[in-house]
């Protein structure tokens, strides 16, 4: 396939570029920030894959987006501010405009395979002043109630996808709700009580990148727009999950029909397993 990866210089974007190229795809990477020679990973990609090219661009300009995406088969959008920034307008306004520009350009150009980076922060998580958690484990039916602009921007990008596929029914859009993308579990393992608001979650970066590739491949199991949590099935800490909940979330119920055993994580990713055939793997 010929794939556009927007936000290719970000922490997740670099791993998605690598995954796409290793699968034999032609890749156009787009980012607002240029790829300098000091970026070792970018240089390694350029030196080892002739099927890769890079374009620096501002994706808040719809005409530029339309021009860059023309002729491609699929688009993976990771272009966004990855946190609330000023907690005012910067993250919200930038992210919302970019996500709509890319979805609308794909519709205009007949690009039907789209995956976009959403976030676990659509749930009230670490950036929110107050967490509103209704049950564990959290699945895609859980209410989305953030009180900050980054999480809101991700809810809006998902709503944009709902809107676009109503009019362009041949399109298929996956919104991947990623947790903290890290090289290996041990990076987060030493953080315990301080990560209660983050629910001790993470995703191994190459495993997360693989989810994006699966989302644009034809599985025949889903159509339209679907949301998926992409999180490790285990917490990043060694303490048993029930012990963590007793200390930090004693009043939150366990969803009917579910159990939490050992270090089982607090996100239910069974939908990603069923529809994308995605299963988390760790590097250590």
Say if residue 89's pLDDT is above 90.
yes
In a domain? residue 219? yes
The per-residue pLDDT for 166 is 98
Q: Which positions ≥6 away from 272 have C-beta within 8 Å? A: 211, 228, 229, 230, 278
Confidence band for 94, pLDDT divided at 50, 70 and 90:
very high
Q: Once rounded to an integer, what is the mean pLDDT over residues 117-136? A: 97
Asked if the structure places residue 93 within a domain, the reply is yes
> Whole-number mean pLDDT of the chain?
94
Question: Bigger pLDDT: 44 or 220?
Answer: 220
Peptide bond into 137 cis (omega under 30): yes
List Cβ neighbours of 144 (8 Å cut-off, separation of 6 or more).
122, 123, 151, 155
Buried-state track 152-177, b at ≥16 Cβ within 10 A, e below 16: bbbbbbbebbeebbeebeebbbbbbb
Residue ranges making up the domain that contains 218: 2-236+265-276
* Rg of the chain in Å (alpha carbons): 18
Q: Count the neighbouring beta carbons within 10 Å of the beta carbon of residue 88.
A: 10
Check residue 44 and give its pLDDT: 67
Residue 4 has what pLDDT?
Answer: 98
Residue 255 has pLDDT above 70, yes or no: yes
What predicted TM-score, i.e. pTM, was given to this entire model?
0.95
Tell me the CATH number at 135.
3.40.50.720
Predicted confidence (pLDDT) per residue in 3-59, tens digit: 999 999 999 999 999 999 999 999 999 999 987 655 666 666 766 778 999 999 999
> What total number of domains does the chain contain?
1
> How high is the pLDDT of residue 202?
96
Q: Is residue 244 in some structural domain? A: no
Residue 52 in any domain: the answer is: yes
Asked if residue 146 is part of any domain, the answer here is yes
How far does CA 96 lie from the centroid of its chain?
A: 15
Domain membership of residue 148 (yes or no) is: yes
More confident residue, 142 or 45: 142
Considering the domain boundaries, does residue 242 fall inside one?
no
Whether residue 246 is contained in a domain is answered as no
């Amino acid at each position: 396939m010929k794939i556009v990866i927007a936000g290719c210089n970000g922490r997740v974007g670099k791993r998605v570029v690598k995954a796409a190229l290793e699968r034999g795809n032609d890749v156009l990477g787009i980012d607002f920030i240029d790829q300098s020679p000091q970026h070792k990973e970018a240089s390694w990609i350029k030196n080892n894959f002739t099927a890769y090219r890079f374009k620096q661009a501002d994706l808040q300009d719809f005409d530029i987006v339309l021009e860059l995406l023309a002729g491609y088969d699929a688009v993976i959008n990771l272009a966004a501010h990855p946190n609330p920034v000023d907690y005012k307008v910067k993250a919200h306004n930038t992210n919302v405009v970019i996500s709509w520009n890319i979805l609308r350009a794909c519709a205009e150009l007949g690009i039907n395979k789209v995956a976009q980076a959403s976030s676990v922060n659509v749930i009230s998580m670490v950036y929110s002043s107050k967490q509103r958690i209704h049950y564990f484990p959290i699945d895609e039916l859980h209410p989305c109630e953030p009180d900050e602009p980054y999480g809101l921007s991700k809810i809006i990008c998902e709503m944009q996808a709902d809107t676009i596929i109503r009019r362009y029914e041949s399109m298929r859009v996956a919104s991947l709700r990623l947790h903290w993308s890290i090289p290996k579990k041990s990076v987060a393992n030493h953080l315990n009580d301080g990560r209660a608001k983050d629910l001790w979650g993470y995703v191994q970066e190459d495993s997360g990148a693989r989810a994006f590739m699966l989302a644009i491949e034809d599985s025949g199991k889903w159509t339209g727009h679907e949301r998926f949590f992409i999180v490790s099935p285990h917490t990043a800490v060694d303490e048993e999950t029930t012990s963590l909940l007793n200390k930090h979330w004693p009043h939150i119920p366990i969803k009917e029909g579910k159990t939490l055993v050992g270090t089982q994580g607090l996100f239910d990713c069974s939908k990603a397993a069923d529809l994308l055939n995605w299963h988390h793997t760790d590097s250590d």
